[in-house]
Structure 1
């Protein structure tokens, strides 16, 4: 069974995948902000992915919980680029989607 470190590796790969579609001007910042989000939500992500692996949490449950943590994605690196708030919100959603995709692939 995969462990949390495997999940983090998968999440990093997913962030790189998504970042490659965003364009070179924001790619590195998006990856950095995604990793910062994962670090700040680590305790919750550990607990939730464990519950998911045990079959006690569904993908939809996880999405609801991670969306509740969306504000942890402060997007500081992207803010310094002068990205508009609406675009930052889309990037936050993309980070949440990356977490959900990675968790589903590893534990779902």
Structure 2
């Protein structure tokens, strides 16, 4: 499994998500998403490998990713003036996208 390919796909898909959900703030959203992925990369890689080796259930993986919600600070979006409700919605969509992308890569 090529984890760097998963990360590349995540960045591409998150950019598309940002353009469709927070259009005028897409640049800030992508900046925040990249920051989150960079800070979480080691954990995501470890969890993905555990999932692929069937040492984690899908429920465990989802819980672990969602537990990182508070680490996705979205500072650039906050500074841009986007409403907190929309920031929270984007953050949740981003975390779900991470889960779906990993499940797809691991063939779950």
Alignment of 1:24-103 (within 5 A): 24-103=23-102
Q: CA RMSD in A?
A: 1.4
Instruction: Pick the structure with more helix per residue.
Output: 2
What is the match of residue 3 of structure 2?
Answer: 4
CA distance in 2, matches of 1:60, 1:35: 25
Separation in structure 2 between the aligned mates of residue 56 and residue 81 of structure 1, nearest angstrom? 41
Does residue 15 of structure 2 align to residue 16 of structure 1? yes
Question: Structure 2 stretches of 5 or more lacking a match?
Answer: none
State the Cα deviation string for residues 60-94 of structure 1 (Å, max 9, x = none).
Answer: 22111011111111101100111222222111101
Aligned length: 107
2:50, 2:2 → 1: CA distance? 12
Q: Which runs of 5+ in 1 are unaligned?
A: none
TM value normalised by structure 1: 0.89
1:101 partner SS: helix
- When normalised by structure 2's length, the TM-score is 0.89
